[in-house]
Each structure stands twice: as structure tokens, then as C-alpha cells.
Amino acid sequence: MSTAVTTRGYRALAGLAAPIAGIQLAQVALTSVDLAMLGLLGVTAVAAGGLAILLYNQIRTMCVGMVTGVGNLVATAAGAGELRTGTGELDERARDEIRSLLRSALLVATLTAALGAAVLCGLAVALPSLGQKPEIVSLAGPMMFALAGGLFPMVWLNVVRQFAVGLRRPGSLLAVTLVSIAVNAALNAAFIYGWAGLPELGVAGIGLATTLVQFFTLAVFASALRRDPLLRPMVSLALWRADRAVVRRIVRHGTPICFTYGSEAAITSIATMLMGAFGPAMLAASNVANQLAYIVYQANIGLSQGSSILVSRAVAHGDRDRAPVIARQAFTLSWSLMAVVSLAYLLVPQVLLWPFLHDETDAVVLGTASTLLVFAIAQQYSKGTQNILVGLLRGLGDTVSGLRCTLVGYWAVGVPAMFLCAYVFAWGGWGVWAGLCLGFATTAVLLGRSFAGQGAGSAR
């Protein structure tokens, strides 16, 4: 393969992945700012608020998983339309199919968000039964209720994002991301301290601020879609006109992805619950280290979804053998970024942790979090690799292998290993993270074997 072709491949992947990662970072930036602002309220607030954010991310991830496959369905419809015209343009049949996909996906998103909000509120009520200390429950519960309403605009945003990504016009959210961060920080402070006549809500106010900013981000992105001359004719928000057959298709396609993403988030949530048993300091350190790793992880999500869309289009064009090439490009970009981040974790951990732990009284938490960042290196390589593999398999039309591999890697290996290392080997919180990393690594190996099998099948 020529250097020019290879360079174009990297450029196409980066062009899709970067805006997707930007939108992901817009979401994560909100909770990262929340965690930083919680630091103003003390270690207990960081522990409780971090727990609320993590459980929210658990539900958010599953909701996003239910509609993530929409991008692949749109890309497949677009690729088929381009193949029929032979000019690279969409025919009317493809446009009608894409409009129907968007309408139906919005209905699925609404129902999914309603269910997710109910589950998040149920978890808030159940926190005492999950072994959390009273001081954690009293702060985390109200924040979770405040965050629940933000699931609706968040899932709607992901639907319109997948619609745009499937058509290779993901757009840029850099400006709105920066504005959202600023607005979120201002609202956080206003609700913490009762500025501008707003109620003094403390930790719960931080959750409410995030929900309000979610609506703002959705409005800005939807407005951008309306102004795009290519996308505007296919934008149909009339979810009440959803086609039942298309809804069933989206749910059938999205359910394995939902539970795959849910398994990934669930093992992290279980790890956080276990960390809470070792005291607020260990829980706070784990929350901060996990949040840093989660920020970096968004680049891998962008590469996963970008490579997935490119594979779907290649399959629609009858070029299934291109999947391994796209995979190599995605892994090269991912592992290069992870190498740079890993050096930062090792060389300047206190600089990275300072926005979250900047009080002199946080010295113990800071030291613990610095050590956990070493575990985060192993976590990011294995977790990032598995996420890209899940996307590649989804591009090939296989959403089941991801679920099957995560069930084995997380629940047969990861969760037992966390309990074994933490309690039987008496490694405490360090054992929880060791088991977590082992679960991610096992899943990555299993997914790699599944993808290799798919490639061999295509070669035959």
C-alpha cells in the first residue's frame, strides 16, 4: 500500500475520530469540572460526588450504547445509496431510510433515557443497602436525583451525533465545549454558594448545573445540524412518526451494545463500591484517578466510533478486507497517545491531580491517587484496545461478540479477581484496581481473537 494511501487513511480516521472525541470530552468535561468543584467542599464531598458521577456515567454509558449503532446503520444506508448512484451521492431511497432511522432513534432514545433516569433514582435510594456510609449517602443521593434529568438531552445529543457521524459530517464542538465548561463552572459555583439569588444547594447543585448545561449543548449541536446544507434535508425530529420495524431494528442492534457498554461501566462501578469500603480517602483517590483515565479514554471512544463507521462503509461498498487496515491505523493512533499520557502519569502525577486535589489537607489522598495512576496506565491500554475492537466488530455487523467477551472478561475474571486481590490477598484498594485491570486485559485478548476470526472469515 502506498504512503499516500496510508496517509489518507490516517487522515480520514482522525477526521472522524477527533470531532467524536470532542463531543465525548464535552460530556466528560462537565463531570470533570463537577469533580474539581467538589474539591472546594472537602474530601467527603469528592468521595460522595465522585460516587454519584460514576453511577451516573454507568447509566449514561448504557443509554448511549443503545443508540451508538445508529451511526453504523446510517453509514450502511449511505454507503448503499452511493453504490447505487455510482457518483458518491445519496439517492432518495437512502435519504428516506436515514430520515426514518433518525426519527426512530429519537423515540428509542427517549424511552431509554426515561428508564435510565428511573434506575439512577432507584440507585440513589438504595445507596445505604449498598454499604455506603451515611455521610456519603446524604450527599450522593440528592446529586444523583439532580443528574437524572440530564439523561434526556444527553441521549438525544448522541442520536443526532450518530446521525451526523454516519454521514461523515461529525462537526466540531470545540467552541461549545469551552463555553459549556465555563457555564458549568459558573453554575456550579452559583448553586454551591447561592450566588445571583439562586438556592444554596451544595453538592446537589453541582448535579443540577450539569443537567442544565446538557440542554444547552444539545441546542447548540442541533442548531449546527439545521445549518448544514447536506444534513438539513434529512433531519427529521418527528419521533411520533417512528416506524415500528425500524425501532425494533435499532433496539435489536443496540441492545448487545448497551449491555456491552453497561458491563464495562458496571465493573468500574463495582470497583468504586469496593473502594468505598476502604474509607473516604481511598474512595476519593480512586474517583480522581478514574476520572483522569476517563478523560483520556474519550480519545479511544472517538477512534472506536470513527473506525467503526469507516468499516461499515467499506462493507457496504463490498470492501470487507479493508477492516484490518483500518484496525492497524486505529491502534497506532491509540497506543501512541497512550504512551504520551503514560509518561505524564509517571513523571508529573501531582500536576495532573492538582485541579481535583489542591488542598494541603488532601496530602494522603494525593499520594494514593498518584500510585493509582500507575494502575491507570495498564487500564488505559487494555480498556482502550478493547473499545476499539468492539467498534471494529460493530462495523462488521457483529454486536454479539463484544457482549460475549465482556461477560467472560469482566464477570468470570475481573469481578472475582477484585474480591480475591482485595480481601483474600489483603491488598485492599490496590487489589481492587489490580483485578479491574485484569478484567479489562482479558476482555481485550478475547475481543482480539474474535476480530482475527472475522478477518480470517472475510479472507476466505
Average pLDDT over residues 418-442: 93
Question: Which residue in the block uniquely carries the three cell numbers 482502550?
Answer: 384
Average pLDDT over residues 264-291: 83
The pLDDT value given to residue 27 = 66
Going by pLDDT thresholds of 50, 70 and 90, the confidence category of residue 361 is very low
Going by pLDDT thresholds of 50, 70 and 90, the confidence category of residue 167 is confident
Please give the residue that has the higher pLDDT: either 27 or 442: 442
Q: Find out whether 29 and 266 touch, Cβ atoms under 8 Å.
A: no
Domain-wise residue ranges, the chain: 3-459
Average pLDDT over residues 271-300: 84
List, for residues 216-243, the tens digit of each pLDDT value. 888 888 888 888 888 888 888 888 888 9
CA separation, residue 344 to residues 245, 296, 337 (Å) = 49, 12, 11
Q: Find out whether 161 and 64 touch, Cβ atoms under 8 Å.
A: no
Going by pLDDT thresholds of 50, 70 and 90, the confidence category of residue 2 is low
Which helix (DSSP H) or strand (DSSP E) does residue 431 occupy? helix 429-459
The pLDDT value given to residue 112 = 96
Q: Find out whether 437 and 382 touch, Cβ atoms under 8 Å.
A: yes
The pLDDT value given to residue 174 = 59
Q: How many CB atoms lie within 10 A of CB 7?
A: 10
Cα–Cα distance, 180 to 175 (Å, whole number)? 9
Q: What is the DSSP letter of 173?
A: -
The pLDDT value given to residue 358 = 60
Percent of the chain with pLDDT strictly greater than 70: 94
List, for residues 344-354, the tens digit of each pLDDT value. 999 998 888 87
Q: How many CB atoms lie within 10 A of CB 219?
A: 13
List, for residues 100-140, the tens digit of each pLDDT value. 999 999 999 999 999 999 999 999 999 888 778 888 888 89
Is the pLDDT assigned to residue 443 strictly greater than 90? yes
Is the pLDDT assigned to residue 41 strictly greater than 90? no
Average pLDDT over residues 314-331: 88
* pTM of the shown model: 0.79
List, for residues 170-206, the tens digit of each pLDDT value. 766 556 667 778 888 888 889 888 887 888 888 888 8
Is the pLDDT assigned to residue 458 strictly greater than 60? no
Going by pLDDT thresholds of 50, 70 and 90, the confidence category of residue 159 is very high
- Supply the mean pLDDT for the chain: 86
